[in-house]
Amino acid sequence: MGYTHDVFHALQKRAKDCGSLTNQNKDQNIGSATGQSNSLSGFLSSLVVNGIIFAVMLLLFLILRKSQRRQYAPRTYVGTIKKEKRPDPLPDGIFSWLGPLVRVNESYVIEKTSLDAYFFLRYLKVAIVMTFVGCLITWPVLFPLNITGGAGQTQLDVLAMGNVRKTDHKNWYWGHVLIAYVYFGFIMFTIYRELMHFIAVRQAYLCSSMYANRISARTLLITSIPEEYLSVPHLLKLFDNVARIWINTDVKELEEMVAERDKLALKLEAAEVKYIRTADKNRRRAIKREGEGAGAGDPEGGSVGARWVPAKQRPSHKLKFLIGKKVDTIDWGRAELKSMNNKIQDLQARQRTDKVKQLNSAFIEFTTQQAAQIAFQCVASNLPLHMAPRYIGITPNEIVWSNLRLKWWERLGKITIITAFLVLLVVFWSLPVAVVGTISNINYLTCQLPWLSFIDKIPKVILGIITGLLPSVMLAVLMALLPIILRLCARVAGAPSLSAVELHVQNSYFAFQVIQVFLITTLSSAIASSVQDIVGLTNPTAITSLLATNIPKASNFYISYMLLQGLSVSAGALLQIAGLIVSKILSAILDSTPRKKWNRWTKLSGLGWGTVFPVYTNIVVIALTYAPIAPLILGFATIGISLFYLAYKHNLLFVYDNSIDTKGMVYARALYQTLTGVYLAEVCMIGLFALATTPGPLVLAILLLVFTILFQFALSNAFGPLLEPLPRNLQISENSPATAEAAANGHEAERPAEAIEEDGEKAGATALTMEAPPKVSMIKKFFQPHIYANYLSAKALVPQEEFEYTYSHEDRENAYAHPAMAALEPVLWLAKDEAGVSKEEIDGCKAFEIIASDEFAWVDEKSKVQWEPTVDEEEVNPPDYVEKLPM
């Protein structure tokens, strides 16, 4: 304690030498005590650096987008994207593509991508409106109040509330709180309106034949089923109109064996192709050395491959690392693959018997979407946490099969443990993030810590980069480590599908974004900028007053952060330079077989909604929090989000894969999370007004906080029951398209256009028969959501043409069976060569009952593997590729 006491006294003495911020009456040069503000130099440095990066990246994108079509427009032609999902290509001109991209309508986005993609772009657009309107509301009033506040701040700090001198300008705070009422009232109405729009569009999408005719639309996953109900007859008693039931079984042994077989097949395929390439390379060398006669075939010579490949050059490997027996990869692989094929067939047959171990979950397909919704919304068990939670609309390709075995108490225990782990992770992550916040205000530390005095000698431009750009980059890198951990936590917690994983990650990652990127960085930045006065004070009230003065200064860090995000990151999202370079390098080094080349060609980069949404929700939260305190940030948020909107609109339509679809649920969560910014701003204002001893604004701020809490409570009660289920009246009005029986006959039940028209004539309630509403102003549309954001208007956004999915009997029977139970034997994809070695290897595989093919792939004159993506305008896929309809 004595040592600490001496340190604090020494720091206190230095603080006195440097001046004090706490006694504003005596200080003749307010603000100098913390060192000269470098907010303007930091801003200009960030603007210049990020502006240059933006310009260079954008220029490269404009130059490369025409020649690198696979990188910048793969969704327009890659074979794995269904033709009806491919957007029309943009013009090739340098800037001629921008106009058509901006004019792409919302219905087109839903048709060509997914509901999540549409709502993500919608969120960015709404965020632009929020921040831009915030500029119009706050700037004309708060800038003059802050500038004339008389607290002596300089540079950008003069535009923040910290420049209002509480001793002389208490009445200035009335302007801040009244503007908060107006602006946050607008924000709350916008969130209310967008929830209405979300529910309307989601319901219109769920009722459309594009979705309703899928098997997943009428399939329910029930977890934690009691053992006494874990049979088909008992489940049939619980639910009506059931078409099929898949009770999940323990397939761990089969699953592991199928995975091992797939790995073995790829190993054998690579060895076969390597053998063919080696033969071709040796043959070409012989021809070059001895002439054309050396390459002629020798019918009497036995194996063609053996002639060109000595035994020591054949592919081989050790069965165990370093110490295992060395074997010929091709001979060993063929024998092993044949053996595993037989074993897997036996296990698959055994899994279809009644003697296998059943798990406590089941997929139930109903005859209609209406019946599935009734089962989804009912209470199935009198016991808590039994036969729950239930999920509807999960597609087979997004199921996390390992989580379907969890009992209710296992799920509850895992959720508790993961929650505790995430809380500890927040605490752990606070340390490095706090350091980043300190760096952003490191110039304020030089007066107290003499060993940092060299910072004063650094040129202002470089110091601006250190305090403005460097912390932003460090923070972005630090936060990039989190998504992997959070997705793993979601799986461990028991999420049954990839979309559920993303929703779980969205909550936890948003908490990280707000706590780490915003709150801790803000507080550490404010503490760093006033450390000289904090160490000289013993009164907690004086310390909080000091922090209240300096918290508005922390907004300078987020101006740099938004410049980084808006300029550099948005341009980087367009250019994708890392993906472009890495794909070229890895393709040349690793893609040695036709299948590997096909995989790299057809596999598109995707977005994890759980980690994408929170980043931009947090940007909006930061902007809203600082709106009444440092409103300048709203302008940079508007510019940054606008650039992101254009970048993501391009990439979602032309680049990104949209396989994971929460059907818009991420949007509803993002809207609720946006209110966090309103809460933080209100709490901050309450603290500032309390410290400034201004009772009038303080009372109004408290009332605003109470109103916000009541607003969210009412919002949750009103919209909560409508977020996931499909309301009964809409199911009836849409005649519930798609029955399982009709689909089994090779076609889906359709909702006749005549019926729709007849209903519209009777009730005047369908979008197809209603007269187009008269054109009205955007303001009127905005403030009348019950008319312009309802179900009927939403139907105009969702494609209404009939979609038919003709499922085969096998597809229907195996739709929700574990993939391992229906796994087919792999087919090897080889490369054709001039000497005929590939044909010889195909015959050799056939002797082991292994199918191989060398179609559409060949070895070129450099003995490298090539393949043809399209033949006669038809896409080329691996010989064992099975195209499946949307489930």
Q: Which residue would you say has higher pLDDT here, 789 or 756?
A: 789
pLDDT band at 887 (very low <50, low <70, confident <90, very high): confident
- Whole-angstrom CA distances from 567 to 324, 570, 646 are 54, 6, 12
Any domain includes 817: no
The DSSP letter of residue 770 is S
DSSP reduced 3-state for 761 = helix
Q: In terms of domains, do 290 and 201 share one?
A: no
Of the segments 74-83, 553-562, 708-717, which one has the largest average pLDDT value?
708-717
pLDDT band at 87 (very low <50, low <70, confident <90, very high): very high
Residue 771 has pLDDT above 50, yes or no: no
Cβ neighbours for 139, distance < 8 A, ≥ 6 positions apart: 631, 634, 635
Contact by Cβ (8 Å): 827, 853: yes
- Whole-angstrom CA distances from 632 to 559, 606, 639, 648 are 8, 34, 12, 25
Average pLDDT, the chain: 83
- The strand pair at 870-871 and 316-318 is best described as unpaired
Q: In terms of domains, do 302 and 168 share one?
A: no
What pTM was estimated for this model as a whole?
0.85
Give the separation between CA 66 and CA 356, rounded to whole angstroms.
Answer: 56
pLDDT band at 580 (very low <50, low <70, confident <90, very high): confident
> What residue type is 633 in one-letter code?
I
Cβ neighbours for 159, distance < 8 A, ≥ 6 positions apart: 143, 146, 147, 630, 631, 632
Q: For the residues of 258-327, what is the DSSP string, one character each?
A: HHHHHHHHHHHHHHHHHHHHHHHHHHHHHHHHH-GGGGS--GGGS-HHHHHS-GGGS-EEESSTTTSPEE
Of 722, 756, 781, which residue sits at a domain end?
722
Of 702, 722, 742, which residue sits at a domain end?
722
Q: 217, 202, 363: which is closest to 739 by C-alpha?
A: 217
The average pLDDT across 844-872 equals 91
Encode 828-860: b = buried (16+ Cβ within 10 Å), e = exposed.
bbbbbbebebbebbbebbeebebebbbebbbbe
Q: What is the dihedral of CA 793, 797, 802, 806, to 10 degrees?
A: -130
pLDDT band at 738 (very low <50, low <70, confident <90, very high): very low
pLDDT at 210: 87
pLDDT at 527: 64
Any domain includes 451: yes
Domain range for 845 is 253-350+824-875
pLDDT at 241: 94
The DSSP letter of residue 217 is G
Cβ neighbours for 520, distance < 8 A, ≥ 6 positions apart: 430, 433, 434, 437
Out of 56-70, 167-181, 185-199, 420-434, which region has the weakest mean confidence (pLDDT)? 420-434
Give the separation between CA 711 and CA 672, rounded to whole angstroms.
Answer: 11
Cβ neighbours for 607, distance < 8 A, ≥ 6 positions apart: 120, 652, 656, 658
Query: Left if phi > 0, otherwise alpha if psi is -120 to 50, otherwise beta: which for 127?
Result: alpha
Q: Which residue would you say has higher pLDDT here, 177 or 304?
A: 177
389 cis-preceded (ω within 30 degrees of 0): yes
CB count in 10 Å sphere of residue 412:
14
Q: In terms of domains, do 200 and 267 share one?
A: no
Any domain includes 568: yes
Of the segments 414-428, 496-510, 540-554, 805-819, which one has the largest average pLDDT value?
496-510
**Residue 38 backbone dihedrals phi, psi, to 5 degrees:** -115, 25
Residue 364 has pLDDT above 60, yes or no: yes
Residue 202 has pLDDT above 90, yes or no: yes
pLDDT at 532: 56
Q: In terms of domains, do 337 and 440 share one?
A: no
**Portion of the chain with pLDDT greater than 90, in percent:** 50
pLDDT band at 292 (very low <50, low <70, confident <90, very high): low
Give the separation between CA 209 and CA 583, rounded to whole angstroms.
Answer: 38
Q: Which residue would you say has higher pLDDT here, 35 or 874?
A: 874
Q: In terms of domains, do 456 and 537 share one?
A: yes
Give 3-state DSSP helix, strand, coil % of the chain, rounded to 5: 65, 5, 30
Radius of gyration of the chain, Cα coordinates, nearest whole angstrom? 32
Give the separation between CA 90 and CA 101, rounded to whole angstroms.
Answer: 7
pLDDT band at 740 (very low <50, low <70, confident <90, very high): very low
Residue 122 has pLDDT above 50, yes or no: yes
**Portion of the chain with pLDDT greater than 70, in percent:** 84
Any domain includes 773: no
Give the separation between CA 335 and CA 798, rounded to whole angstroms.
Answer: 53
Residue 755 has pLDDT above 70, yes or no: no
**pLDDT tens digits for range 597-647:** 999 998 998 889 999 999 999 999 999 999 999 899 999 999 999 999 999
Out of 164-173, 691-700, 847-856, which region has the weakest mean confidence (pLDDT)? 164-173
Give the separation between CA 787 and CA 795, rounded to whole angstroms.
Answer: 13
Give the separation between CA 779 and CA 172, rounded to whole angstroms.
Answer: 31
DSSP reduced 3-state for 390 = strand
The average pLDDT across 8-19 equals 39
Give the separation between CA 54 and CA 67, rounded to whole angstroms.
Answer: 21
**pLDDT tens digits for range 15-56:** 344 433 334 333 333 333 334 456 677 778 888 888 999 999
> What residue type is 782 in one-letter code?
F
Q: In terms of domains, do 176 and 274 share one?
A: no
The average pLDDT across 544-567 equals 73
Record the tokens describing residue 47, joined without a space: 């603007």
**pLDDT tens digits for range 300-335:** 456 888 888 898 999 998 888 877 789 999 999 999
pLDDT at 360: 93
Q: For the residues of 644-700, what is the DSSP string, one character each?
A: HHHHHHHHHHHT-B-----TTHHHHHHHHHHHHHHHHHHHHHHHHHHHTT-HHHHHH
Residue 649 has pLDDT above 90, yes or no: yes
Any domain includes 509: yes
Contact by Cβ (8 Å): 505, 608: yes
Q: In terms of domains, do 205 and 269 share one?
A: no
Residue 848 has pLDDT above 90, yes or no: yes
- The residue to which tokens 């005719």 are assigned: 213
pLDDT band at 13 (very low <50, low <70, confident <90, very high): very low
What separation, in Å, do the N-terminal and C-terminal C-alpha atoms of the chain show? 68
Cβ neighbours for 431, distance < 8 A, ≥ 6 positions apart: none
Residue 733 has pLDDT above 80, yes or no: no
pLDDT at 141: 94
pLDDT band at 116 (very low <50, low <70, confident <90, very high): very high
Contact by Cβ (8 Å): 159, 216: no
Record the tokens describing residue 664, joined without a space: 């818009």
Residue 516 has pLDDT above 90, yes or no: no
pLDDT at 885: 80
Q: In terms of domains, do 307 and 204 share one?
A: no
pLDDT band at 460 (very low <50, low <70, confident <90, very high): confident
Q: In terms of domains, do 335 and 449 share one?
A: no
Q: In terms of domains, do 657 and 578 share one?
A: yes
Any domain includes 786: no
How many structural domains comprise the chain?
A: 2
pLDDT band at 547 (very low <50, low <70, confident <90, very high): low
Of 706, 722, 738, which residue sits at a domain end?
722
pLDDT band at 449 (very low <50, low <70, confident <90, very high): low
pLDDT band at 737 (very low <50, low <70, confident <90, very high): very low
Residue 845 has pLDDT above 90, yes or no: yes
Any domain includes 225: no
**Residue 694 backbone dihedrals phi, psi, to 5 degrees:** -115, 90
Contact by Cβ (8 Å): 163, 629: no
Largest CA distance in the chain: 108
The average pLDDT across 771-786 equals 70
Any domain includes 788: no
**Alpha helix locations (H) across 720-861?**
728-733, 740-744, 753-763, 778-782, 785-788, 791-795, 809-813, 837-846
Give the separation between CA 356 and CA 422, rounded to whole angstroms.
Answer: 37
Q: In terms of domains, do 297 and 429 share one?
A: no
pLDDT band at 445 (very low <50, low <70, confident <90, very high): low
**Residue 861 backbone dihedrals phi, psi, to 5 degrees:** -65, -15
The average pLDDT across 543-565 equals 71
Residue 232 has pLDDT above 50, yes or no: yes
pLDDT at 611: 92
The DSSP letter of residue 368 is S
> What residue type is 191 in one-letter code?
I
Q: In terms of domains, do 501 and 628 share one?
A: yes
- Whole-angstrom CA distances from 602 to 70, 482, 579, 585, 869 are 9, 28, 14, 17, 9
